[in-house]
Amino acid sequence: MPSFTLNTNLPRDKIPPNFPAEISKLLSKLTGKPESYITVAINSDQLRVFNGTPAPCASSTLEILGSVDSKKVTKEINGLIHEKLGIDFDRLFLFFYNLSGSQVGHGQSTFG
């Protein structure tokens, strides 16, 4: 159940159509979770500034059951964002939220 959300001021037409699927595949590799439990949302066209300027920037969140190697995940995910979207590393944030099974519902029940 990793849930990944990217918020960026890039316009929608600057985001490759297959980018969400690439993030999903990478998250599956990094977390060991099947893609059938991974969701990816890309929120583009946001009015955002970072360090006082509207240059391309993004912040992401990763909500996941249990913990992950946050340094490795940050390096890989932000690396892909930089490569595919061209956003400078110093204008990227990734926030981690480790959830318990009782905090995540799926279908008609929770994971804990």
Distance in angstroms (rounded) separating the CA atoms of residues 45 and 5: 14
pTM over 0.85: yes
**Cβ neighbours, 10 Å, residue 92:** 22
Domain ranges of the chain: 3-110
Per-residue model confidence as pLDDT tens digits over 23-81: 999 999 999 999 999 999 999 999 999 999 999 999 999 999 988 999 999 999 999 99
Provide the pLDDT confidence category of residue 9 given band limits of 50, 70 and 90. very high
Which class would CATH give 3-110?
Answer: alpha beta
Q: Cβ(20)–Cβ(38) under 8 Å?
A: no
Rounded to 5 degrees, φ, ψ at 73 are: -65, -45
Active-site annotation holds for 20: no
**Catalytic-labelled residue, pool 2, 11, 34, 56:** 2
Residue 10 has pLDDT above 90, yes or no: yes
**What average pLDDT does range 90-108 have in this prediction?**
92
Distance in angstroms (rounded) separating the CA atoms of residues 20 and 17: 7
Distance in angstroms (rounded) separating the CA atoms of residues 2 and 40: 9
